[in-house]
Amino acid sequence: MEQQGNKVDMKLRWAVLPLLVMIGVMLVAIVKLEQGPHIPLIVGTAVASLVAWRHGYKWKEIEEMMYKGIRLALPAVVIIILVSLTIGAWIGGGVVATMIYYGLTIISPAYFLVTICIICSVVALSIGSSWSTMGTIGVAGMGIGLSMGIPAPMVAGAVISGAYFGDKMSPLSDTTNLAAGLTHTNLFEHIRHMLYTTIPGLVIALGARKVPAIPALVVGITLGFLAQVIVQGGSLADSVGALQSGYVIDTGNELVDNLFSRGGLDAMMYTVSMTIVGITFGGILEYSGMLQSIMNQIVKLAKTAGSMIASTILAGVATNATCSEQYISIVVPSRMFAGAYEKMGLQSKSLSRALEDGGTLTSVFIPWNTCGVFILGTLGVGAFEYAPYAILNFIVPVISIIYAFTGFTIARIAVQSVEPPLEKQAAQ
């Protein structure tokens, strides 16, 4: 092994060990023991810590890796908490019930999945946030769909597909701007290039003004709280309780009770704890060099333009699984592949599109990723359940890989002919 000070270069066999152990324990815990993913992630974190220690990192350095990961997840944790309060306030204030009532009146069950997908697309396109869309319109959509007798995974799949379509194609989206910025690609060039793989049926509203997620959610919480007190006639104690513990109703009708007994800060603590544990595991993999070792091997597989783009998408999926955060799935592969794309004569927008197709979209399929955790806490459906129905999220990476190997829509750097220097011309 090569030395770097007191650190030892991370070989692939050591880099994948924590991931393999975590996945093995995860399978036993979920399939055999029917338990959650928290303990397997903690086991994976412990193994990753031992591997890092074995390669020369001190315990204080390993702790700092964990803290860096947690700090990265803090914005997601804040959004998760605010969404939990929004759900409690909106159900208690009758907002969700009103949306369900009019939804059942206006929308035909035969077209509901298409309709809710389009609605979520438009909302996410306008505000640039898939999470805010799922936490508001998505919650109401779940209620409407369940009331129509449509299975929850199918409704969740339609909501997710719509929300991520709008988020991915919006010039106001943080992930869209991140992918374009890291690759030095013009934002609208990046969006137009993604049109080929996302196959949108909507026109992007370029004049929409983005409303930051946190202030918008705070306003929603406040209005829902006031609606419960003023419109519904609830007491202050009940309204505060809906924010803390969720709204609880007992009508004797199981469907109605399950539909409206939701939300609240306490209900999201499972989600918050999984986010923190998952990102702690990812922090060690990222900052100890384990993830870089895995990425290096993926880069080596790229010999052609097609394999380069396919490897980028695979790297996004791998990063989502190992580091539990979609932002890292854009940041890390962008650093690893930027030089390789340039050497192969591929334009930066080819990289930015692959980053979104492989990183942003596939994050929802990893149960311990912040996106998968958020969806479970918000829509109440697990990743393995809604995965077959989140069609946009898995079909776009497939289309992107097909395009890569066929060469369709792959943007290359134009080769300019350069006249030889005068002295060479004279010699000729």
Q: Which of 48-57, 70-79, 232-241, 398-407 has the lowest mean pLDDT?
A: 70-79
Confidence grade of residue 7 (pLDDT, cut at 50, 70, 90):
low
User: Is residue 3 within a helix (H) or strand (E), and if so which, with residue range?
Assistant: strand 3-4
Mean pLDDT estimate for the chain:
79
Confidence grade of residue 84 (pLDDT, cut at 50, 70, 90):
confident
* More confidently predicted of 134 and 420: 134
pLDDT given at position 349: 85
- Tens of pLDDT, residue by residue over 298-313, are 777 777 888 888 888 9
Q: Give yes or no for residue 51 having a pLDDT over 50.
A: yes
Q: Give yes or no for residue 424 having a pLDDT over 60.
A: no
Q: Which two tokens stand for residue 282?
A: 């990812």
Contact yes or no for 259/276 (Cβ under 8 A): no
pLDDT given at position 427: 45
Q: Give yes or no for residue 50 having a pLDDT over 90.
A: yes
**CA 389 to each of CA 111, 151, 156: distance values in angstroms, whole numbers, following the listed order:** 15, 11, 8
Contact yes or no for 175/168 (Cβ under 8 A): yes
Tell me the mean pLDDT in the region 309-328.
Answer: 82
- Tens of pLDDT, residue by residue over 282-292, are 888 888 888 88
Q: Which of 86-95, 181-190, 252-261 has the lowest mean pLDDT?
A: 252-261
**CA 63 to each of CA 38, 76, 232, 360, 383: distance values in angstroms, whole numbers, following the listed order:** 19, 21, 49, 28, 30
Q: Give yes or no for residue 368 having a pLDDT over 90.
A: no
Alpha-carbon span 84 to 120, nearest angstrom: 19
Q: Give yes or no for residue 80 having a pLDDT over 60.
A: yes
Residue with tokens 């979104």: 356
Tell me the mean pLDDT in the region 49-59.
Answer: 90
Q: Which of 31, 34, 64, 35 shows the shortest CA–CA distance to 49?
A: 64
Residue with tokens 């070792």: 293
Tell me the mean pLDDT in the region 367-393.
Answer: 87
pLDDT given at position 267: 76
Q: Which two tokens stand for residue 371?
A: 């996106």
* Residues 143-146: contacts with CB under 8 Å, at least 24 apart: 143/96, 143/99, 143/100, 143/103, 143/259, 143/260, 144/99, 144/100, 144/103, 144/104, 144/107, 144/112, 144/116, 145/112, 145/113, 145/116, 146/255, 146/259
- Tens of pLDDT, residue by residue over 235-249, are 888 888 888 888 777
Confidence grade of residue 172 (pLDDT, cut at 50, 70, 90):
low
Q: Which two tokens stand for residue 254?
A: 């199981």
